[in-house]
Amino acid sequence: MSASHDQHHPMTLSGELRMDTGVIINKCYQCGKCSAGCPLSSEMDYPPSLVMRMLQTDDPKNYDKLLKSMTIWLCVSCEMCLTRCPMEIDIPRLMDNLRQKSVRAKKTNPQAKKIIAFHKSFLDSINYTGRLYEMGMVVDYKMRTGAMTQDVMIAPKMFVKGKLNPIPEIIKGRKKIAEIFNRVQNNKEVKL
């Protein structure tokens, strides 16, 4: 809650999100282009346009569902949704904010543990912005090829072995990625 907010009216969830991210939830008119363009949409419990709809309800139950969702962890910040959105709604920014809130509220989906561990190691290890897309590709690859609950470490092994074409050409830091995954696998510090 912000002190600047009208004291007589408790802040709505969408109001809070707007304060935190600058995103105006109600600008979404449910055209569905974000979900159609999202590469992870089919794996998500709530595709991006539904996330928007749920936030528009301002219903704490829906908000809770989102904090516990896999969606927020499957979003790889590729910005495809943002590119396609006629209202230029920054869904990746919202997702990032929801991830932070999910962790803070200790509501993270148990199935997301490995992704979260990866996020953490990734952020600790290398420059966030410069390498974010590579993480996206790893998770994207994983989501396209196997069940979430299976070994999330398969993709980087394939990176290292150069079996994942044409990704090895794109990713210059394969050795680094392998190191990160080793750290994730042996990471005793990740507690969720």
Number of residues that bind ligand SF4 (CB under 6 A): 28
Closer residue to ligand SF4 in complex, CB, 44/164: 44
- Residue 89 contacts ligand SF4 per CB under 6 A: yes
Helices (H), the chain: 13-21, 33-37, 48-57, 60-67, 71-74, 80-84, 91-104, 113-125, 128-145, 154-161, 167-170, 174-185
The answer to whether residue 92 forms part of the interface with ligand SF4 (CB under 6 A) is yes
> What CA–CA distance (Å, rounded) separates 174 from 64?
37
| Calpha distance 19→189 (Å, rounded) | 32
Surface-to-core class of residue 181, CB atoms within 10 Å of its CB (0-12 exposed, 13-18 middle, 19+ buried): buried
Window 148-177: residues binding ligand SF4 (CB under 6 A):
none
Q: Which of 13, 66, 81, 177 binds ligand SF4 (CB under 6 A)?
A: 81
**Least distance to ligand SF4, CB of residue 104, Å:** 20
Return the residue of 56, 77, 125, 187 that touches ligand SF4, per CB under 6 A: 77
Among 76, 98, 112, 139, binds ligand SF4 (CB under 6 A): 76
CA-to-CA distance for 177 and 169, rounded, in angstroms? 14
Phi then psi for residue 54, to 5 deg, are -65, -40
Q: Which is nearer to ligand SF4, 31 or 105 (CB)?
A: 31
Q: How far is the CB of 191 from ligand SF4 (least distance, A)?
A: 26
* Residue of 13, 17, 25, 28 that binds ligand SF4 (CB under 6 A): 28
Q: Is 34 one of the binding residues for ligand SF4 (CB under 6 A)?
A: yes
Three-state SS at 55:
helix
Q: Which amino acid, residue 119? A: H
CB nearer to ligand SF4: pick between 52 and 184: 52
Smallest distance, ligand SF4 to C-beta of residue 9, A = 25
Q: Is 190 helix (H, G, I), strand (E, B) or coil?
A: coil
Chain residues in the site for ligand SF4 (CB under 6 A): 28-34, 37-38, 40, 48-49, 52, 75-81, 84-87, 89, 91-92, 95
